[in-house]
């Protein structure tokens, strides 16, 4: 029987993996199609805004940007909060902190918003939006496939990688982008293989539709002497310092704009007008600037001119994205890196002519190294360079410059350009093991169903008597119909302890806080912990999601800590082969289920699901108890028909344990 069950589990596992590969193929195909649509949308918007105003000459550039800003404001009215600004950090937040809940309509919203922004001439990139477009395509495919959150997360990464791979005609670059930047370096062979399938499929389809034309036209890379690597190392130091300055300046501009008292539409239009005036003064600063980058890679720009262009792009991209123009930062990063590398080559040729390589080579290496230093993704940068040049010679200089630049940048600024803003808001995309554990335990498994409440008409003396006889620090206040009207904290009563002569003048309704934080049973303990910390309270009411005025119970900080300790202890007692590794949340789940029928009448010792399936029973709620509540499992107590159990284990282990 055990062999039959094992064979069935193996077949189910293989079938599921084949299904995931099929979904990855679909995501890659749709990602390539989305890239083609996005390119055509940019071409159409460029004709509409820059093309129609081209007869006006240079003065037409600010007008085109303002016209694009008006179009963006119209689009923002239909999709408020989803059009304006640099959206990639928000995409990462939704992916890692909100259960991979990337919105499917972003494939339309981001296409239109970024196309208008780039077509009008805002100094932004196209790579961030295409990654979000691909990610939303992956989310839609995952929704159709009814995938769990972790599998949905991987498929979203597949879509984002497919978008980048088709943009640069670089399957390995797209693969590393998805792994390093989207999934934050989480390395799992199963995930890796799905991303390989998606990016490879996307590039094949894109080449069939668009041909094999590269984004940048790169001259053959030459390394006349390995002594030139010394100057490439110095370039890495320069780019590392510049990356720190750019990251901080970029976010400082965005923060300053957010604090401005001016309305958002005024800020957008004024900001875009200033970007247009900047391009009038320093031509070549509009849109992503890829044609200008091509000139730098070909060695056709003077060093002084490239230095001015780099400074202008730093200002223009920060202002464009800071004021609310949608777009990405890859384009500006490529531009700044290439111009800085080219300008550095001019200086190096004057100071160290014998250690300086040919024109165009430093611009190419600077393009990739600056990407590594600002995004903290060196492999993505290096593989993109290799795929764009198809030349192994670039590998050594690129590695030296990228690693030196990354080391300098991370030493001075630990956060990347995508995570600094989130960190300033107190959001970390790198979850600790503790947070992963808490995020997998539902509030329903922990909170107390019995809560000491206070009637809203209770007078102050009555309130004080209830509080004095209770150990709670938080008291829900109910109206005559039993509806929750507020929460009364013990701390709010301290100033009234000597005021009992107020008598009936003050009632509980007057003392309670009508605006209070609350939880639903489906929320995770991670959500509860963050809410407890943010509100600075010890207990939170748990309410019915369908009727937020219906009180279900209370969750205390002590309940949360006890549940966490119990979970860690139970998982620590699993066999070594079944024990979760550092990426606990990637494979383990916590479920609240009715006791399986096959468990009824058997004890936990007989079932032995921990040894058989690597599943821990964290708590049991006996079905026949008058007062509901969870308790630690008794290994010798037989399960009853209406018991509720809290289980922790892998998805496969949980299915096997429930089928035992």
Residue 4 has pLDDT above 50, yes or no: no
Verify that 462 and 410 share a domain, yes or no. no
Whole-number Å distance between alpha carbons of 348 and 232: 10
Verify that 299 and 442 share a domain, yes or no. no
The answer to the question of residue 10 being in a domain is no
447-465: burial string, b at 16+ Cβ within 10 Å, e else: bbeebebbbbebbbeebbe
Whole-number Å distance between alpha carbons of 370 and 372: 5
What CATH number is given to the structural domain containing 328?
1.10.3080.10
Instruction: Give the residue numbers spanning the domain of 300.
Output: 226-241+283-424
Whole-number Å distance between alpha carbons of 128 and 333: 12
Q: Which one has a higher pLDDT value, 124 or 191?
A: 124
Closest residue by Cα to residue 274 from 317, 305, 245, 328 = 317
The answer to the question of residue 515 being in a domain is yes
Residue 433's pLDDT band (cuts 50, 70, 90): low
Residues ≥6 apart with Cβ < 8 Å to 567: 437, 441, 590, 616, 618, 648
- The Cβ of residue 289 has, within 10 Å, a number of other Cβ atoms equal to 27
Region 497-506: mean pLDDT is 57
Verify that 375 and 504 share a domain, yes or no. no
Verify that 545 and 584 share a domain, yes or no. no
Cα-Cα-Cα-Cα torsion 267, 272, 274, 279, nearest 10 degrees, comes to 170
Verify that 67 and 199 share a domain, yes or no. yes
Sheet holding 474-478, edge to edge: 454-455, 474-478, 484-489
Residue 429's pLDDT band (cuts 50, 70, 90): low
Residue at a domain's end among 555, 583, 612: 555
Residue 222's pLDDT band (cuts 50, 70, 90): confident
Verify that 144 and 288 share a domain, yes or no. no
Residue 599 has pLDDT above 80, yes or no: yes
Question: What pLDDT does 333 receive?
Answer: 93
Question: What pLDDT does 554 receive?
Answer: 85
Which residues pair with residue 591 across a beta bridge? 647
The answer to the question of residue 566 being in a domain is no
Number of domains in the chain: 4
Question: What pLDDT does 382 receive?
Answer: 87
- Quick one: what percent of the chain has pLDDT higher than 90? 20
Verify that 153 and 235 share a domain, yes or no. no
Question: Do residues 332 and 317 make contact, with C-beta atoms less than 8 angstroms apart?
Answer: yes
Residue 579's pLDDT band (cuts 50, 70, 90): very low
Verify that 160 and 233 share a domain, yes or no. no
Verify that 175 and 199 share a domain, yes or no. yes
The predicted-structure confidence for 66-113, as pLDDT tens digits, reads as follows: 999 999 999 988 888 888 888 888 888 887 777 677 787 888 888 999
Question: What pLDDT does 469 receive?
Answer: 72
Question: What pLDDT does 360 receive?
Answer: 83
Residue 580 has pLDDT above 50, yes or no: no
Instruction: Give whichever of 73-77, 454-458, 601-605 has the largest mean pLDDT.
Output: 73-77
Closest residue by Cα to residue 69 from 312, 266, 250 = 266
Verify that 339 and 400 share a domain, yes or no. yes
What CATH number is given to the structural domain containing 633?
3.30.70.1450
Question: Do residues 418 and 201 make contact, with C-beta atoms less than 8 angstroms apart?
Answer: no
Residue 392 has pLDDT above 80, yes or no: no
Residue 307 has pLDDT above 90, yes or no: yes
Question: Do residues 653 and 578 make contact, with C-beta atoms less than 8 angstroms apart?
Answer: yes
The answer to the question of residue 361 being in a domain is yes
The answer to the question of residue 335 being in a domain is yes
* pTM listed for this prediction: 0.68
Q: Which one has a higher pLDDT value, 238 or 656?
A: 238
- Quick one: what percent of the chain has pLDDT higher than 70? 84
Verify that 500 and 527 share a domain, yes or no. yes
Count of helices and strands (H, E) across the chain = 27, 8
Whole-number Å distance between alpha carbons of 398 and 393: 9
What's the Cα-to-Cα distance from 585 to each of 94, 147, 491, 604, rounded to whole Å? 16, 16, 37, 25
Region 159-183: mean pLDDT is 87
Verify that 303 and 366 share a domain, yes or no. yes
Question: What pLDDT does 524 receive?
Answer: 77
Q: Is 587 helix (H, G, I), strand (E, B) or coil?
A: helix
Whole-number Å distance between alpha carbons of 443 and 528: 8
The answer to the question of residue 461 being in a domain is yes
Residue at a domain's end among 378, 402, 424: 424
Residue 3's pLDDT band (cuts 50, 70, 90): very low
Question: What pLDDT does 629 receive?
Answer: 58
Residue 586's pLDDT band (cuts 50, 70, 90): very low
Residue at a domain's end among 521, 555, 589: 555
The predicted-structure confidence for 369-383, as pLDDT tens digits, reads as follows: 999 999 988 888 888
The answer to the question of residue 561 being in a domain is no
The answer to the question of residue 560 being in a domain is no
DSSP state of 181: I
Instruction: Give whichever of 196-200, 480-484, 578-582 has the largest mean pLDDT.
Output: 196-200
Whole-number Å distance between alpha carbons of 428 and 326: 23
Closest residue by Cα to residue 92 from 526, 423, 437 = 423
Closest residue by Cα to residue 633 from 658, 597, 598, 608 = 608
What's the Cα-to-Cα distance from 154 to each of 168, 173, 215, 359, 599, rounded to whole Å? 21, 17, 27, 41, 34
């Amino acid at each position: 029987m055990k062999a039959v069950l094992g064979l069935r589990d193996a077949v189910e596992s293989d079938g599921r993996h084949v299904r995931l590969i099929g979904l990855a193929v679909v995501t890659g195909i749709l990602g390539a199609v989305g890239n083609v649509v996005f390119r055509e949308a940019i071409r159409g918007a460029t004709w509409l805004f820059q093309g129609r105003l081209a007869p006006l000459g240079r003065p037409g550039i600010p007008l085109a940007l303002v016209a694009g800003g008006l179009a963006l404001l119209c689009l923002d009215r239909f999709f408020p909060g989803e059009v304006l600004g640099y959206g990639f950090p928000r995409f990462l937040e939704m992916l890692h902190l909100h259960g991979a809940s990337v919105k499917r309509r972003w494939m339309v919203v981001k296409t239109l918003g970024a196309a208008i922004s780039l077509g009008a001439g805002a100094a932004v990139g196209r790579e961030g939006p295409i990654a979000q477009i691909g990610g939303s395509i992956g989310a839609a495919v995952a929704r159709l496939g009814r995938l769990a959150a972790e599998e949905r997360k991987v498929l979203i990464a597949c879509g984002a990688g497919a978008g980048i791979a088709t943009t640069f005609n670089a399957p390995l670059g797209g693969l590393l982008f998805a792994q390093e930047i989207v999934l934050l370096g989480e390395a799992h062979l199963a995930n890796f293989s799905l991303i390989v399938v998606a990016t490879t499929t996307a590039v094949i389809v894109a080449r069939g539709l668009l041909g094999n034309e590269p984004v940048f036209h790169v001259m053959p890379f030459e390394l006349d002497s390995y002594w030139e690597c010394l100057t490439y190392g110095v370039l890495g130091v320069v780019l590392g310092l510049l990356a720190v300055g750019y990251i901080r300046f970029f976010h400082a501009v965005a923060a300053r704009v957010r604090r401005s008292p001016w309305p958002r539409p005024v800020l957008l239009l004024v900001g875009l007008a200033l970007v247009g005036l900047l391009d009038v003064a320093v031509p070549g600063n509009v849109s992503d600037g890829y044609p200008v980058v091509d000139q730098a890679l070909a060695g056709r720009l003077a060093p002084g001119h490239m230095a001015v262009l780099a400074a202008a792009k730093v200002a223009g991209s920060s202002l464009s994205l800071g004021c609310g123009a949608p777009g990405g930062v890859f384009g500006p990063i490529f531009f700044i890196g290439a111009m800085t590398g080219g300008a550095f080559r001019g200086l190096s040729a004057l100071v160290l002519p014998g250690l300086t390589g040919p024109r165009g080579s430093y611009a190419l290496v600077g393009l990739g190294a600056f990407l590594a230093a600002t995004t903290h993704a060196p492999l993505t940068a290096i593989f993109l360079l290799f795929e764009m040049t198809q030349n192994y010679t670039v590998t050594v200089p690129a590695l030296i410059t990228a690693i030196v630049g990354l080391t300098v940048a991370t030493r001075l600024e630990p956060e990347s350009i995508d995570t600094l803003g989130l960190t300033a808001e107190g959001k970390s995309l790198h979850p600790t093991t503790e947070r992963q554990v808490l995020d997998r335990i539902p509030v329903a498994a922990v909170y107390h169903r019995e809560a000491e409440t206070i009637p809203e008409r209770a007078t102050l003396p009555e309130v004080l008597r209830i509080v004095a006889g209770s150990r709670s620090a938080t008291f829900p206040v109910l109206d005559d119909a039993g509806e929750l009207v507020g929460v009364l904290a013990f701390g709010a009563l301290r100033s009234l302890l000597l005021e009992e002569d107020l008598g009936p003048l003050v009632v509980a309704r007057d003392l309670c806080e009508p605006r209070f934080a609350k939880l639903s049973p489906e929320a995770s303990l991670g959500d509860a912990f963050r809410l407890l910390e943010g509100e600075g309270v010890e207990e939170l009411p748990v309410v019915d999601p369908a009727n937020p005025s219906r009180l279900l119970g209370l969750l205390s900080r002590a309940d949360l800590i006890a549940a966490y300790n119990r979970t860690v202890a139970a998982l620590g007692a699993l066999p070594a082969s079944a024990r979760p590794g550092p990426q606990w949340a990637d494979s383990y789940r916590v479920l609240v289920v009715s006791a399986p029928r096959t468990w009824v009448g058997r004890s936990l010792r007989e079932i032995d699901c921990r040894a058989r399936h690597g599943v821990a029973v964290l708590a049991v709620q006996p079905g026949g108890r008058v007062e509901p509540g969870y308790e630690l499992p008794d290994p010798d107590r037989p399960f009853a028909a209406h018991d509720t159990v809290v289980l922790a284990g892998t998805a496969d282990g949980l299915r096997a344990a429930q089928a035992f």
